[in-house]
Amino acid sequence: MGRLQEEQVADLVGKFRRGVITRRELLAGLSVLGGLTALSGAVPSLLRSVGVETPGVRPVLAAAAPKRGGTITAATIDKPVNMDPAFAELYSSMQVYQNVFSKLVYVDRNYRFVPGLARSWRQVNPTTWEFDLVDNAWFHNGEKFTAADVKYTFDRLFDKKLGAANAVFLAPTEGVEVVNPTRVRIITKANWGGLIPSLAAVLEVVNKKAIESADTKLKPVGTGPFKFVEWVKDDHITLERWDRYFKPGRPYVDRVIFKAIANDTVRLTGLQKGELNWIEQVPLQMVKDLKQSAQIKANPEGAFFPDLFLINCTKPPFDKREVRQALSWALNRKAIADLVWHGQAMPSAEALAPTNPLYSGFNPFEGTPNVAKAKELLAKAGFPRGLKAVFAAQPQVPTQVQVGQLVQQMLKPVGIDIEVRSFESARWFEELATKRYDFTSTYWSATLDPEHCYFPLGHSKSAWNFAGYGDPELDRALEKFRFTVDPVERKKAYGEVVRLTALGAPVVFQVNFIRTYWTSPRVSGVATLPSLELRMEDAWIV
Say what the pLDDT of residue 218 is. Answer: 95
Is the separation of the CB atoms in 275 and 73 below 8 Å? Answer: yes
Q: How far apart are CA 401 and CA 418, in angstroms?
A: 13
Beta partners for residue 305, in sequence order: 513
Q: Which long-range contacts (CB under 8 A, 24 or more apart) does 298-301 make?
A: 298/516, 298/517, 298/518, 299/516, 299/517, 299/518, 299/519, 299/526, 299/527, 299/528, 300/7, 300/8, 300/10, 300/11, 300/109, 300/527, 300/528, 301/11, 301/514, 301/515, 301/516, 301/517, 301/528
pLDDT of 384-434, one tens digit each?
999 999 999 998 888 999 999 999 999 999 999 999 999 998 899 999 999
Select from 244, 240, 270 the least CA-distant residue to 255: 240
Is the separation of the CB atoms in 381 and 323 below 8 Å? Answer: yes
pLDDT beneath 50: ranges in the chain: 1-5, 28, 31-41, 53-62
Q: How far apart are CA 97 and CA 239, in angstroms?
A: 10
Q: How far apart are CA 476 and CA 459, in angstroms?
A: 9
Residue 25 exposure: Cα atoms within 13 Å on the Cβ side = 16
Q: How far apart are CA 202 and CA 88, in angstroms?
A: 8
pLDDT of 335-367, one tens digit each?
999 999 999 999 999 999 999 999 999 999 888
Kindly report the pTM of this predicted structure: 0.84
Say what the pLDDT of residue 89 is. Answer: 73
Sequence-distant (6+) residues with CB within 8 A of 264 are: 281, 282, 283, 284
Q: How far apart are CA 126 and CA 483, in angstroms?
A: 10
DSSP 8-class letter at 327: H
Q: How far apart are CA 502 and CA 511, in angstroms?
A: 14
